[in-house]
Amino acid sequence: MEYILQTKGLTKQYGKHTVVNHVDMHIEKGDIYGFIGKNGAGKTTFMRMVTGFAAPLEGSMELFGSSELEKQRVRIGSLIEQPGLYGKMTAKENMEIIRRNLGITKKHAVDEILEFVKLSNTGKKKVKNFSMGMKQRLGIAIALFNNPDFLILDEPINGLDPAGIKEIRDLLLKLNHERQITILISSHILGELSKIASRYGIIKDGRLIEEFDAKDLESRCRRCLKLSVDDANHAAAILEEKCHISNYDVPEPGTLRLFDGLDRSWAINRQLIQNGIQLKESYLAGQDLEGYFMDLLEYGQFQQNGKLNSHGTYTAQGKGGKNA
């Protein structure tokens, strides 16, 4: 397994306030890693440490499997918070500065990258007069200019209209598929993030509470029949023997989630009651991705169906099977 970024116990403190607390993050090659957390959770600070804008207090990190960070950071393109642009210059002039800074000798490179982000027709228009979407795209162009293998984007779709969001989304998918660029992206627009991310990391109060992939998330958000019973083990046995249902889990004591047989819930309920199970509740449940994330961030649902390691990072315990 080739990791593009691997951090171990990465910590950052401002005064007495710990902004990033022992974060162990793993990003594999080819991932589009959605980094989710509320405002002030530590997303930007974490990204700034990875890009070298901020120094960690504790912990270590490896980029492209190497701990020679300064050398490896050449392979990173980043857009942290607002893009760094000269408002009184044109898009081309902004890119010319970057071209010279990076020592790119090919003069057409500027036109090519502007063409790629669809800003080649901006002419003499000053960047300060650009729309938010145009500025973001120019920021992405700057991040992409050195042909990075790893792109770090901090809320790149903030403030964009739906068309702008779609443009950025398509652009990122294109970069990931065509250029095999690994992407770490944070966003508050969770629904949008779920359309592109292949892996997720949830950060809360500076701690990375959970890391999981898109398939895992899909299964967690599946529609299910949620049963509240007095004896979950006994109920599980009845489900398997009498109802022939094996696709279920026990997220918490006394609760079962059934992923099969949703269309015959009445028969399942009757079977359980007939076998002496006290059925307190039975209802069809299911969440959209945004609802799932919100629950996770708000109530820390991770504590119910997983366990925390020594640093407070959640480790998922399988899915869909017999987790009782």
Partner 1 sequence: MLNLFRGECYKLRKHKPFYICTLIGVCIALMLYGTLFMVDNLEQMESQETQTDFSVTVSVNEETGSTDTPESNSAGSTIPMSQQIGIVGVIEQMLSGSFVSFIMILFVCIFVIGEHSNGTVKNVVGKGYSRKTVFLSKLLATEMAALLMTLIILGGTLLFGAFFFGKSGIQSMNWEDLAAFTGMHLLFAAALTAIATLIGEITRSLAAGIPISLAVVMFSTSLTTGLDLLFQNLNLDWKPSDYWLLDLQTTALAEIVKQDFIIRGTALSLAWLLAAVLLGMLHFNKTDIK
Residues forming contacts to partner 1 in the complex (CB under 8 A) are 48, 51-55, 70-71, 73-74, 76, 78, 80-89, 93, 96-98, 100-103, 142, 146
User: Taking the complex as a whole, how short is the minimal distance between the CB of residue 120 and partner 1, in angstroms?
Assistant: 20
Residue 7 vs 194, nearer CB to partner 1: 7
Residue 19 vs 168, nearer CB to partner 1: 19
Cα–chain center distance at 277: 40
User: Taking the complex as a whole, how short is the minimal distance between the CB of residue 28 and partner 1, in angstroms?
Assistant: 22
Residue 87 vs 276, nearer CB to partner 1: 87
Residue 6 vs 82, nearer CB to partner 1: 82
Residue written as tokens 């228009």?
125
Q: Which of 97, 80, 83 is nearest to 128 (CA)?
A: 83
Residue 80 vs 239, nearer CB to partner 1: 80
User: Taking the complex as a whole, how short is the minimal distance between the CB of residue 208 and partner 1, in angstroms?
Assistant: 21
Q: Where are the beta strands (DSSP E) in the chain?
A: 3-14, 17-23, 26-28, 32-36, 58-63, 76-79, 150-154, 182-186, 199-204, 207-213, 224-229, 248-252, 255-258, 279-285, 306-308, 314-316
Provide CB contacts within 8 A for 62, sequence distance 6+: 3, 5, 6, 7
User: Taking the complex as a whole, how short is the minimal distance between the CB of residue 52 and partner 1, in angstroms?
Assistant: 4
User: Taking the complex as a whole, how short is the minimal distance between the CB of residue 107 and partner 1, in angstroms?
Assistant: 13
CB-CB contact of 196 with 295 (8 Å): no
Cα–chain center distance at 118: 26
